Amino acid sequence: MNNKDWNIVGKNCLITGATSGIGKETALSLARMGANVIFTSRDEKNGEKTKMDIVNETKNSNVNYLICDLSSFRSIRELTEEFKKKYERLDVLINNAGVLPQEREVSKDGIELNFAVNFLAPFLLTKLLLPLLKQSSPSRVINVSSSMHTEGEIDFEDLESAKSFDKYKAYSQSKLALILFTKKLAKDLRGSGVTVNALHPGVVDTEMTMKNVRKMNPIASFFFKRTLISSKEGAETSVYLASSPLLVDVTGKYFVNKEINNAHASTEDTVLREKIWLVAEKYTRNFIDIIGN
């Protein structure tokens, strides 16, 4: 494919979790570039406010939202059905939404929240939208992971941290699983025109981060806060992966600061990729039309 074939203007971009933080800045940047931005919101009030913020700031009226609770498989399924009714194309899917709960919580489906929202939600959403992504090719899937995936380990004996819960272990595991999914899907889709990449946005000054900073001692908190980047800076790699014509054939990679970086060595383990994929299929099978589509 020639680089000139990719132009973000007029492209349909679906972004999860874009009512605040990195997601909102990603939506703002893509709207400024002339993309058609569709984002998810858990409720109408936040969705409408965010839409108007983006429209007013960018002067791009092609901004809309769809209601979705990413902690509910049923809600994700309803989102995809609604999207397909309203839009004939999906050019860019950005799985941006993420959680880092302070205590062990469960999703609407009774699944540990990190595992449900950070991994199973993007897995299910991407699988359900895959036929449309293929039909719209060239198209792109972008998964927002974290450098903390390097500390992750897939504990198949306790995937949901039911025996013991450590918020950082649960979060790291979910972000590692997301990159394993990214790399397997990218390999499976080679030649389809759909690329799949993951990224680390940086350590960003978001409410999710600050909840953890506030639990630090004052000195550690002071120095840690000095290292944080803004949500706008945190969105730059997502925007780059969505918009750059240089990446039309780049797939299965992990990006940091808009450059290809090495993910943890375990993400190259094809057996581990297959194993976590099968786990995700088992969790979501009642909401997927055709397994392996």
Number of C-beta neighbours around residue 42 at 10 A: 17
Task: Of 289, 237, 285, give the one whose Cα is nearest residue 129.
Answer: 289
CB-CB contact of 121 with 94 (8 Å) = no
User: How many degrees, rounded to 5, is the angle at CA 153 between CA 152 and CA 158?
Assistant: 120
CA atoms within 13 A on the CB side of 66: 22
**Is 283 one of the annotated active-site residues of the chain?**
no
**Integer Cα distance of 174 and 98 in angstroms:** 10
CA atoms within 13 A on the CB side of 204: 25
**Integer Cα distance of 96 and 100 in angstroms:** 13
**Integer Cα distance of 279 and 85 in angstroms:** 30
The neighbouring-strand residues paired with 93 are 14, 141
CB-CB contact of 129 with 90 (8 Å) = yes
Q: What is the maximum alpha-carbon separation in the chain?
A: 53
Number of C-beta neighbours around residue 156 at 10 A: 10
**Integer Cα distance of 245 and 232 in angstroms:** 21
CB-CB contact of 231 with 204 (8 Å) = yes
The identity of residue 109, as a single letter, is D
| Catalytic-labelled residue, pool 65, 171, 254, 283 | 171
CB-CB contact of 180 with 278 (8 Å) = no
Catalytic amino acids?
171
